Amino acid sequence: MNDIADLYQELIIDHSSRPRNFRPIGGAASSAEGYNPLCGDKVKVYLQMDGDVVADASFLGDGCAISKASASLMTESIKGKTRAEVEKLFSEFHDLVTGAGDSHSGRLGKLAAFSGLREFPTRVKCGTLAWHTLRAALKHEAGVISTE
């Protein structure tokens, strides 16, 4: 059960049961919807941009602990970052949860709590759904982003 402890760290449980930035942004600059048809997880990400910088980010949706905590921590970690910085953060986060590269936990801050996901390949999509949706919102992509 050690890998369960690694997966469901205190921080993840906390953010899944009390998600931060769990609200719509009225008149948001952009938003996008994400859907994982395998498990029915849905997320809507709202962005308020100030030029190239994320001024505010929030989300609404329903899903498992991993997907909710991931969306919550994501909205916290991208505020104040430029588009390029957000892209870089996503790529480091993606490497972390898929076990693709060395751990960038230093630069990832709280997002390093998702390092346990690499032992659960079937759950990686739960962790990345909000991020894929965020990228769509940044690009103003229309339609619903699917993990499949």
Partner 1 sequence: MSAERKPVLDLDVSAARKDFPALHQEVHGKPLVYLDNAATTQKPTAVIDAIDRFYRLDCSNVHRGVHELSERATKAFEEARTSVKRFINARTEREIVFVRGTTEAINLVANSYGRSHLKAGDEILISALEHHSNIVPWQLLSDQVGTRLVAAPINDDAELMLEEFERRLGPNTALVAVAHVSNALGTVMPVQEIVRMAHDRNVPVLIDGAQAVSHLRVDVRELGCDFYAFSGHKVFGPTGIGILYGREDLLDRMPPYQGGGDMIRSVTFEKTTYNELPYKFEAGTPHIAGAIGLGAALDYLSRLGIDHVTDYERGLLAYGTELLESIRGLRLIGTAREKAAVLSFVLEGIHPHDVGTVLDRLGIAVRTGHHCAQPVMARFGVPATTRASLAFYNTKAELDALADGIRQVQQWFKL
Binding partner 1 (rule: CB under 8 A), the pick from 53, 65, 112, 144 is: 65
Tell me how far, at minimum, the Cβ of 69 lies from partner 1, in Å. Answer: 10
Tell me how far, at minimum, the Cβ of 37 lies from partner 1, in Å. Answer: 9
CA of residue 90 relative to chain centroid, distance: 8
β-bridge mates for residue 62, sequence order:
42
Helix (H, G, I), strand (E, B) or coil at 118: helix
β-bridge mates for residue 36, sequence order:
41
- State how far the Cα of 76 lies from the Cα of 34, in Å rounded to an integer: 18
- State how far the Cα of 115 lies from the Cα of 95, in Å rounded to an integer: 10
Q: Indicate the residue among 65 and 112 with the shorter CB distance to partner 1.
A: 65
Provide the mask over 79-118, with x wherever binding to partner 1 is found by CB under 8 A and - wherever it is not: ----------------------------------------
Q: Indicate the residue among 119 and 141 with the shorter CB distance to partner 1.
A: 119
